[in-house]
Chain A
Amino acid sequence: MSDASTGSGAESEHDHAQHHEGPGYTTPQAAIEEGGREKLAYVMSLYVGTDVDAPDFVAVVDLDPESDTYCEIIDRIEMPNRGDELHHFGWNACSSSCHMEGLERQHLIVPGQRSSRLHVIDAADRRNPELVKVIEPEEVFEYDLSAPHTVHCVPDGQILISMLGDADGDLPGGFLELNEDFEIEGRWEPPGEIEMNYDYWYQPRQNVMVSTEWAAPKTYYPGFDLEDVEEGKYGQQIHFWDWEEGTVEQTIDLGEEGQIPLEVRFLHTPESTHGFVGTALSSNMFHFWRDEEAGEYRAEKAIDFEAREHPDWDMPVPGLTTDILISMDDRYLFGSNWLHGEVWMYDISDPSNPRRADSLSVGGTFGDIREVQGREIVAGPQMLQLSLDGERLYWTTSLFSSWDDQFYPEEAERGSVMLKADVDPRTGTLELDEDFLVDWGECPAGPARAHEIRWPDGDCTSDVWQ
């Protein structure tokens, strides 16, 4: 309870401040206890490649059920240019810097996936963030990199961004480092460490980073072409790096069952070497961990989602597991099967043997639930975000503009939605909240897509602990 009149709120804040001086929380459990309920969300919103002649924007969504504007987009931070394809984004600082006095979680780094433009947004005023800096694509191309994706902060103030291509949108990709003043510091790794790149996560106490593979931008940008898979143009490897040195120590080829490894997560516990990666095209979950005896990492298929027959389609349809996340208490792995139309939760208390807890069939190709509050759901669940306490799961429905056009063309005409399920971590169950709907179809300039979701003060996919 935070009844300010009794002063208890201020006291507990003071207490908290004694443990650390910097941003975030001292431990994942502290995040659960101190984070409080999410009242706002920042959501990547986009118009690129549609009839709407407007720039992409960051939506500020009201998630406070007590508020008059609950479930509404209460602010939009418009980008200065069109054509960015806002996709993933991240903070200048998270719990990994909680020992850094003076550093604050204040700036959002918002890359344009298609434009290679980098935006810096000052979110000191959580409800009215402001665009404060733009790094133009030409500056990024000078480092022979393009297609920015995952943003994480490095514990002492820098920012690291995975880059999927070279300046021509070809391979190899790499990593771009920004300094505390949001200037390009340079390429993080020595050239030639990897070819393909996508998502990454690091576990500093173990001095390890793991990165995944999508494809060359010129391959995935225009849309998904099966011919490219046959020609080996999509990835199936994951790379384990020496985090301090910035060099690849080990590469694991996941094989046929591990095609297109996208989102990758270590468990939150800083001691853990366990993690999961979702291989989108094969629609499998791989568990990875460090085998101490062998002195190297291992990866094993831990969950297999079967393709489904569709009466009117030529071939069995894969689930396309495009996003995963781990609850802050490391008990559950959540994921989305975008093509099937399913969100699911697995008990990972024994990470080698994930146990299905529950799932929800909604939207997409096969989902049982086809509408919420009379609004037709025209695509499957995609980007996920979970409350810090693990009791509310939210998701949006757009994957990537050109891939949406291929699989869910109506998403361009109708816009995306954000939906929510109530989670009971005790009983391991999910239930759709029928009262919750945020509709990007109602945006003033026209229907927009919605992609990654973040909470203003750290979430299950932003924070790392040192």
Chain B
Amino acid sequence: MASHEVRLEWPTGRTKTVTVREDETVLEAAGRDGIGLPYGCRTGACGTCTGRLLEAAGHESNDEQVLDVDDAFAYRRCQRALKDRHRADGYVLLCVAEPRADCRLAVGPSVHTELVENPWK
């Protein structure tokens, strides 16, 4: 089974690289390595496990180019917690995403808080 190097990056600067097989999710592989990523439903419904794609197959996400997350991942189940705007911005649900390329991901609980904002503020 092919696998990919997935580098997890927290806002604190901490990083960890996990080898993730194509038949396992990033969340499963991280759990196997004892890395505590946030999660809730594990079915693609809640968004707690959200990560953001920073780089895939050597291409970085920046102002000029937005990466297509679908090139970097296959999904075990539908990503119901994400809207089209989230997918377009590189968000991905790590409980259902199986890698198809080496990549870098922003992780940690602050990532899922970026999905919505206070609508009255």
Nearest CB in chain B: distance from A251 CB, A: 26
Contact yes or no, B40 A406, CB < 8 A: no
> Is A224 positioned at the interface, with any CB of B under 8 Å from its CB?
yes
Interface size on B, residues (CB 8 A): 30
- Cα–Cα, bound, A198→B43 (Å): 20
> Is A223 positioned at the interface, with any CB of B under 8 Å from its CB?
yes
Contact yes or no, A48 B45, CB < 8 A: no
Contact yes or no, A221 B116, CB < 8 A: no
Contact yes or no, B81 A221, CB < 8 A: yes
Interface centre among B38, B41, B115 (most CB of A within 10 A): B41
> Is B62 positioned at the interface, with any CB of A under 8 Å from its CB?
no
What 0/1 readout, one digit per residue, does chain A (218-240) give for beta carbons within 8 Å of chain B?
Answer: 10011111110000000000000
Contact yes or no, B45 A169, CB < 8 A: yes
> Is A341 positioned at the interface, with any CB of B under 8 Å from its CB?
no
Q: Chain A: which residue is nearest B40 at the CB level? A: A114
Contact sample, A vs B, 12 pairs, CB 8 Å cutoff: A53-B36, A83-B38, A83-B48, A84-B40, A168-B43, A169-B41, A218-B80, A221-B45, A222-B115, A314-B120, A316-B120, A409-B113
Q: Chain A: which residue is nearest B119 at the CB level? A: A226
Q: CB < 8 Å: which of B38, B41, B81, B82 contacts A50?
A: B38
Residues of B within 8 A of A402 (CB): 46-48, 112-113, 116
- Cα–Cα, bound, A169→B46 (Å): 8
Interface centre among A49, A222, A401 (most CB of B within 10 A): A222
Majority secondary structure of chain B interface residues (helix, strand, loop or mixed): loop
Whether A223 touches B116, Cβ cut-off 8 Å, given contacts A83-B39, A83-B40, A114-B41, is yes
What 0/1 readout, one digit per residue, does chain B (98-121) give for beta carbons within 8 Å of chain A?
Answer: 000000000011001101111111
Whether A114 touches B48, Cβ cut-off 8 Å, given contacts A82-B39, A222-B115, is yes
Whether A221 touches B120, Cβ cut-off 8 Å, given contacts A49-B109, A82-B36, is no
Contact yes or no, B45 A49, CB < 8 A: no
Interface centre among A146, A315, A406 (most CB of B within 10 A): A406
What 0/1 readout, one digit per residue, does chain B (40-62) give for beta carbons within 8 Å of chain A?
Answer: 11111111101000000000000
Contact yes or no, A51 B109, CB < 8 A: yes
Residues of A within 8 A of B78 (CB): 168
> Is A415 positioned at the interface, with any CB of B under 8 Å from its CB?
no
> A49-B112, A221-B47 known; 18 other A-B pairs, CB under 8 Å?
A83-B40, A83-B41, A83-B42, A83-B48, A85-B40, A114-B41, A115-B40, A115-B41, A137-B41, A168-B78, A169-B45, A218-B81, A221-B40, A223-B47, A223-B115, A315-B120, A401-B48, A405-B113
Interface size on A, residues (CB 8 A): 44
Residues of B within 8 A of A407 (CB): 118
Whether A169 touches B120, Cβ cut-off 8 Å, given contacts A222-B115, A223-B115, is no
- Cα–Cα, bound, A425→B28 (Å): 54
Residues of B within 8 A of A167 (CB): 43
Q: Chain B: which residue is nearest A53 at the CB level? A: B36
Q: Chain B: which residue is nearest A224 at the CB level? A: B116
> Is A412 positioned at the interface, with any CB of B under 8 Å from its CB?
yes
Contact yes or no, B48 A49, CB < 8 A: yes
Task: Name the interface residues of A201-215: CB closer than 8 Å to any CB of B.
Answer: none
